Amino acid sequence: MREVAIIGAGIHPFGRFDETYIEIGQYAARAALNDAGISWRDVQAAVVSEQYLPSTTGPRILKPFGATGIPIMDMESACASGGSTLRQAMLAIQSGDIDVAMVLGVEKMPRGFMNPLMIYSEWQAYMGMSTNPSYWAMRARRHMHEYGTTEEQIAKVAYKNHKNSVHNPNAMYRKAFTMEEIMGSKMVCDPIHLMEICAPNEGAACLIICAKEVAHKYSSNTPITIAACVHTLAAYSADFRCPIDSLSAKANNPGPTEVTSKKAYEKAGIGPEDVDCFEVQDTDAFCELEIYEQLGLCPFGEAGRLIDEGVTEITGSKPVNMSGGLISKGEPVGASHLGQLYELVQQLRGNCGPRQVEGAKVALGQVLGASGNCAVTILKK
Amino acid sequence: MESKKRVAVGEGLLTGPLEQFEEVRLVGTRCHDCGEVMFGTYHSCANCASEEVEQIPLSREGTLWSYTIINHCPPEPYKGPKNPFIPFGEGLVEVPEGVRVVSILDCPLEDIKIGMKLELEPYVLYENEAGEEVVAWKFKAK
């Protein structure tokens, strides 16, 4: 199969804005076209991901660039939307159908609580078991019980990510906080505090991808190879994300990030030891700890030790969330994974200034969300 | 005065006469092929896709597998007390049939501990527009 590479990347900062989703999406798309040095006329298909926007969002954003007649598809896979869209566009290139595609993620989410009836059963919402962080909290509490993970170790993840965000102009929050401030912030769902949770918001990210063998014809950028892009749904009872109403006490299936990353490592022909930097789904700070284990950065139960030892700091041997993570960037669901990949492209190009991982050559992005939707993408310089 | 008609908070979740709370049980679905037991009513197995399944009543006793405290009022259409909101425990309660069911915990917040013994406690959550009492469940310390 033909190799696929990224030749352009663009982003609209994540946050809250007065602009429409059309303006936000167009901003990122233009930035990616300019970065690649190509014209909209060179794009042969576009796949657009969003979860909280109207039907035909993609054409509404991109058709004004010129009605070139290419297919513009909208796709959604919850927090993993960017992975499923990228994969679809790659398949079109790998099959030989097209050479150049645009993958765009855009979101403008409603403020306040997300409508619980979009993901929970009515009875769960009536009874008050419809607070997303409560499900993350129950998983954290169990990990603490089984492995002795502490509230302080969970807070350290938020401390690290907030600290990293200071250097990321595209993050929503760009402020470092002390451990006292984080652990003293409002207790949302015991043991998870407010400063350990990501906020839904707005933003867009865009990649221009191309068959690697012809990349030089379109762009003078050094192509970044997409060594793997895998999207899966969690096995039976293997995930704890909302919405769940029960969990098997007998089944012992591996978690979605473990399954998905294993497939991705295999496709890329590498292991976790070969990856220089990671962007992962820190919906809440505990979630990042769990992902360390599922990505194979440490044995199960040892994520707390990993954060204590500073292994996942920018200066550590396995840097995670150099961008500040979702905790700092916020999570515009449709744009989230492509935003991670934007950051990783900049890391592989060596553009990241104070948050640069020295000599990064291989990078991994991971997302996980509702219904156990999980995506892992591995990029190689 | 005739007592009010009672209905369950959701379809296929509760079994037994809703007028006698001590007889009410949660519903499970057992798969004859893989043996998994799921909470609620399923027509095929969520694990192995077998259609050889049957509904069974789940035990009223369980142990707490994990929990959290809900400190802030859940979003609409939450039907519990709002003015003032009363913080409550939410947990996953493991019943002997091999499934952990999400539930509200009816015990002092400081007493909640993983492994504690619990017992099903049906209750009237609210009265609906038809004047019916809507029955939900909690688990209380045994």
Domain A4-111+201-218 falls under CATH 2.60.40.1180: no
Tokens of A331: 């999570």
Q: A132 and chain B: CB distance < 8 Å anywhere?
A: no
pLDDT in tens, A50-86: 999 999 999 999 999 999 999 999 999 999 999 999 9
Nearest CA in chain A to B49: A236
CA separation (Å) from A3 to A32, A83, A89, A289, B19? 20, 17, 12, 32, 66
pLDDT in tens, B109-119: 999 999 999 99
Whether residue A318 lies within 8 A of chain B, CB to CB, comes out as: no
**Residue B3 confidence class, pLDDT cut points 50, 70, 90:** confident
pLDDT value at residue A1: 87
Substitution target from A117, A119, A126, A242 for chain B, most B beta carbons within 10 A: A126
Instruction: Tell me which chain A residues have a C-beta less than 8 angstroms from the C-beta of B114.
Output: 141-142, 145
B87 and B109 Cβ atoms separated by less than 8 Å: yes
Q: Comparing C-alpha atoms, which of A285, A116, A261 is closest to residue A194?
A: A285
Cβ count within 10 A of residue B9 = 22
Burial of A359 (0-12, 13-18, 19+ CB in 10 A): exposed
Partner residue opposite A246 with nearest CB, options B38, B75, B76:
B38
Query: Who contacts B117 (Cβ-Cβ below 8 Å, separation ≥6)?
Result: B61, B62, B63, B141, B142
Q: Which candidate from B68, B77, B94 shows the least CB-CB separation from A125? A: B77
The span from the CA of A130 to the CA of A114, in Å, is 10
pTM comes to 0.96
Q: Sign of torsion, CA A83 A332 A207 A75?
A: positive
Count CB-CB contacts under 10 A for residue A199. Answer: 19
Q: With CB atoms and an 8 Å threshold, state whether A142 touches B66.
A: yes
pLDDT digits (tens, 9 = 90+) for B25-55: 999 999 999 999 999 999 999 999 999 999 9
Q: Is A127 at the interface with chain B, CB within 8 A?
A: yes
Domain ranges of chain B: 6-141
Kindly determine whether residue B9 and residue A123, on different chains, have CB atoms separated by under 8 Å. yes
Q: Which two tokens stand for residue B137?
A: 């469940």
What's at A251, amino acid-wise?
A
Give the residue from chain A lying closest to B14, CA to CA.
A123
Is A134 in contact with B68 (Cβ distance < 8 A)?
A: yes
Q: Which of B36, B38, B68 sits opposite A141 (nearest CB)?
A: B68
User: What class has domain B6-141?
Assistant: mainly beta
d(CA B75, CA A78): 20
